[in-house]
Chain A
Amino acid sequence: MRERLARFLSARIGAPVRVLDLSRKSGGGSRETWLFEAEWQEDGDTRHRPMVLRRDPTASLLESDREREFRLLERLHGLGIPVPRVEWFEPSPDWLDRPFFVMERAPGEPTPPTFPSEADPAQRERAARDFVDILARIHCLDWKKAGLDFLPGPGNARLAARTQLEEWHHLYEKERLAHEPLLDLAFRRLEEKLPVSDRVTVVHADFRSGNYLIDETGHITAMLDWEMTHLGDPMEDIGWACMKFWSGGGRVAGLLDRESFFQRYQEASGIPVDRGRVAFYELLGNVKMTIISMTGVRTLVDGRAADIVLAYVGFMIPRLLEDIARQLGVSA
């Protein structure tokens, strides 16, 4: 891997490149993530650059999805949204067996999927402020003008919820190992309560703690994991961030209470928070996360992947079902 990656980088940079400290990160059923440092000589100086390789796993999403994520990151970086700068996209399997792209390693450290409860309150406050501000900036992007209309979307705002519901129901039908009665019921209820959005925005679709990097003061240096990003209802991101699954200490994403989140978001974006739509997308979020977990288990069972983290993901399903049961008012 190291030598092959070095050959690719040498061809792109135009000088012999050494790949140092190459290490793979655990997790990520739809992407392999490798960290490394590239070293080469340029104008008599030795250059070092910390970089990230994102490669398709042995079986997963379409190649076009990889290219879409690359194009999206390229545009977002140009628009001033804090994302890692992408360098090269390579669709051919000739270099590393599967499509991949290389991007800079942004400064900062990831947090767990909920912001740590023991963190310094000042650090949490800074992260919370950035969390809301970045989300507002994403939702306020003029996506047509910014050339982001290649993202999949609903066609018009009225169809945003239906598009998502149909997409995830299709995935549930395709990937489940067995029916999950609570999901069958949830789909039925969601279908009955389809909301109508008043606008279409860019939706990150995995906006939560654990998907950004922070510096030592708590500032968010980069928002990560844009592979599910699409056009849709901005309340989808709000509902996802509000899921109990990502909450800690009663705080959205472990960062701030729900009312403050809504208020700050409205102030920053000028977009009113529709609590009914948020509730719909919060339930759909739990359904989606359950299906993502099921898909992880399915890839293991089918032998399409072997990362042990995918087995852990399966053990999260009961906790998600507990939240879905609560939201549906299902009790013995």
Chain B
Amino acid sequence: MYPRYPDVIRTIQQNLIREIIPDLRTDYAREQATGILVLLEHLVGCWDRAADILREENSDLRDTLREIARTTGGGTGTEDAAKSDLGVASRGEELMAENRELRARLASMIASAADGSAALRLAEGFMARQVERETAAVTGVAPTWD
């Protein structure tokens, strides 16, 4: 048995609240520490889902790229971008690297697809799903002004 991640994060939060913040001398330092507390709270809420969120996005990206290639029959100059030559990553840093690569491939398709084309509509479908995913992922931590 060892401290699990949420417990570690809670411990850091308690340490900040009880040991560090009371001894901070400036408003700036206290604001920074309070900001760290909020971000830690966000991590407690999503640490177990972070990799799943990336896996889901990467899977959607891969499916979208395949669908675009299938729909266009490789005739849009986007066939290279749609090649499934990437292995399926499973861990944090690999998932992020894979995500960067898949996003770059989609960007390449967006640049070359014709206006009103099926390829562009499929890419837009991914974008809409992505906005929904990202909005849900930051609920509770994203600042609002109202």
Do they bind each other? yes
Note all chain A residues with C-beta closer than 8 A to B107: 179, 181, 184
Check A315–B142 contact: CB distance below 8 A: yes
Q: A117-B146, A309-B35, A321-B134 are in contact. Are A24 and B124 (CB under 8 A)?
A: no
Residues on B with beta carbons closer than 8 Å to the beta carbon of A114: 145-146
Q: Does A180 belong to the interface (CB within 8 Å)? A: yes
A181 and B39 CA atoms in complex are apart in Å by 26
Our pick among A112, A309, A311, A325 for the contact of B131 (Cβ within 8 Å) is: A325
Q: Which residues of B contact A331 (CB under 8 A)?
A: 124, 128
Contacting chain A: which of B7-15, B24-32, B68-76, B82-90? B24-32
Is the C-beta of A23 less than 8 angstroms from some C-beta in chain B? yes
Q: Check B123–A316 contact: CB distance below 8 A.
A: no
Measured between C-beta atoms, what is the minimum distance from B93 to chain A in Å?
A: 13
* A192, closest chain B residue (CB): B115
Contact yes or no, A307 B32, CB < 8 A: yes
Interchain CA distance A179-B105 in the complex, whole Å: 9
Q: Does A246 contact B (CB under 8 A)?
A: yes
- Bound form: Cα–Cα A188–B111 in Å: 8
For A24, the chain B residues whose CB sits under 8 A away are: 26, 28
CB-CB under 8 A from B141, the residues of chain A are 312, 315
Which B residues lie within 8 Å of A249 (CB)? 146
Q: Within A155-195, which residues are at the interface with B (CB < 8 Å)?
A: 177-182, 184-185, 188
- Give A307 Cβ to nearest chain B Cβ, in Å: 7
| Residues of A with C-beta under 8 A to B103 | 178-181
- Are B131 and A182 touching (Cβ within 8 A)? yes
The one of A26, A112, A210, A325 in contact with B128, judged by C-beta atoms closer than 8 angstroms, is A325
**B residues 126-146 in Cβ contact with A at 8 Å:** 126-132, 134-135, 137-138, 141-146
A322 touching B111 in the complex, CB below 8 Å, given contacts A185-B124, A308-B32: no
- CA A24 to CA B29, docked complex, whole Å: 9
Which of under 10, 10 to 19, 20 to 34, or 35 or more describes the interface residues of A?
35 or more
Cα of A180 to Cα of B146 in the assembled complex, Å: 27
> A311 — which chain B residues lie within 8 A by C-beta?
35, 39
User: What are the interface flags for A108-141 relative to B under an 8 Å C-beta threshold, 1 for contact and 0 otherwise?
Assistant: 0000111001000000000000000000000000
CA gap between A117 and B144 in the complex, in Å? 13
**CB contact between B100 and one of A112, A178, A188, A315 (< 8 Å): that residue:** A178
Interface residues of B in 91-129 (CB under 8 A from A): 99-100, 103-104, 106-107, 110-111, 123-129
B36 at interface by CB-CB < 8 Å: yes
A178–B131 CA distance with the chains assembled, in angstroms: 15
Q: Please tell me which one of the listed residues A188, A307, A308 contacts residue B39 in the complex, with CB atoms under 8 A apart.
A: A308
When each residue 228-251 of chain A gets 1 if its CB lies under 8 Å from chain B and 0 otherwise, what string results? 000000000000000000101100
* Contact residue among A179, A317, A319 (Cβ-Cβ distance under 8 Å from B106): A179
Per the bound structure, the CA–CA distance linking A93 and B99 in Å amounts to 41
Assess whether A181 is in contact with B127, with CB atoms less than 8 Å apart. yes
- Interface pairs (8), CB distance under 8 Å: A24-B26, A181-B106, A184-B110, A185-B123, A315-B143, A317-B134, A325-B127, A332-B132
Q: A179-B107, A315-B142 given; name 4 further pairs at CB < 8 Å.
A: A25-B28, A113-B145, A318-B131, A332-B128
